[in-house]
Structure 1
C-alpha cells in the first residue's frame, strides 16, 4: 500500500481521539480497519503495560481482534497509538516494532493539550507522512 489519501469518518476519528484522552497519562492503542483507503471500523485495545512511552497488547487479544476484523471482511489499515507528552512523530522504538509496511501508523499527540493526529507509512527506520481526510457521516 502506498501513501494514498486515507478517508476516515468523523465518528471513528472522534472515537480514536477520545480513546487517547480516556487513557491519559498512558498511551492508548488500537486498530483501524476497512477496505483500501476507507476506514470503516475502530478496534480499541487496552494498553497492558500502562506506560506513557510504549504500549503492549497480548498476542491473544491481537489475534482475537484480527479474526473479528477478518469476519467483517475488512483489512487492517492502520495501527494507532497516542503520545501523551511527546510530538506526533514516530520514535525509533515505534518504527522498529511496527509489524508491516502495508499498515499505516497513526499517532495522536497530546503534547500541546489539544490532540494532533498524524498518519505515517513506515519502512524500516524511515517514515513518510500520509494525507488523510475526515468525512462527516452522510
Structure 2
C-alpha cells in the first residue's frame, strides 16, 4: 500500500494540470510506503507521450532525501489523455527497484491516481490511501 497525504495528492494533480498537455513527472519521498515529500521535476522530453527527468534535479532530490533520513518511495508521472495504467514504455523503463510508480490520469472528467509496483516487466496495482 502507498499512503499519500491529501496535500501531496492535491499537489500531484495540480502539477499534472499545470503541465498539461505535456506529461508531468516527479519523485515522492518518505519511508515504508508513506509519502512525506513531493518533488515536482522537469520533463526534459517536453512530450505528451513520455517523460525524462533532469538528472541534475534527480541528484539534488536524492541528496535532499538522504539529508532528511528518507528515501525515494515513488516516481510519478501524468497521462494527459490516457488512463492511469502503465504503458508498455512505462513498464520497459521501470528500472528503479523497490519504488512505486504513480500515474495521474487527466483523461476523464476527474483526475484518477493509481499506483503500481513494476518488477521484471510485471505490473501489479497497489492500493493508494489518501490521508
Question: Do they fold alike, i.e. is TM over 0.5?
Answer: yes
Please give the TM-score of this superposition, normalised by the length of structure 1: 0.91
Cα shift at 1:128? 0.4
Match of 2:72 among 73, 76, 97: 76
Are the counterparts in 2 of residues 26 and 84 from structure 1 also a CA contact under 8 Å?
yes
Q: Which runs of 5+ in 2 are unaligned?
A: none
The number of aligned residues is 131
Give the Cα separation in 1 of the matches to 2:54 and 2:66: 18
Note the 1:18-57 alignment, pairs <5 A: 18-57=14-53
Aligned counterparts of 2:33 and 2:61: Cα–Cα separation in 1:
20
Contact 1:32 1:41 survives alignment (8 Å)? yes
Q: Give, in whole Å, the separation in 2 of the partners of 1:93 and 1:121.
A: 15
Give the aligned CA root-mean-square deviation in angstroms: 1.0
Superposition misfits of 4+ residues, deviation over 6 angstroms: none
Q: Establish whether residue 15 from structure 1 lines up as the match of residue 8 from structure 2.
A: no
1:125 CA displacement: 1.6
Equivalent-residue separation in structure 2 for 1:41 and 1:133 (angstroms)? 15
2:115 counterpart SS class:
strand
* Counterpart secondary structure, 1:26: coil
Q: Are the equivalent residues in 2 in contact too, given 1:27–1:50 (CA < 8 A)? A: yes
Asked if 1:86 corresponds to 2:79, the answer is no
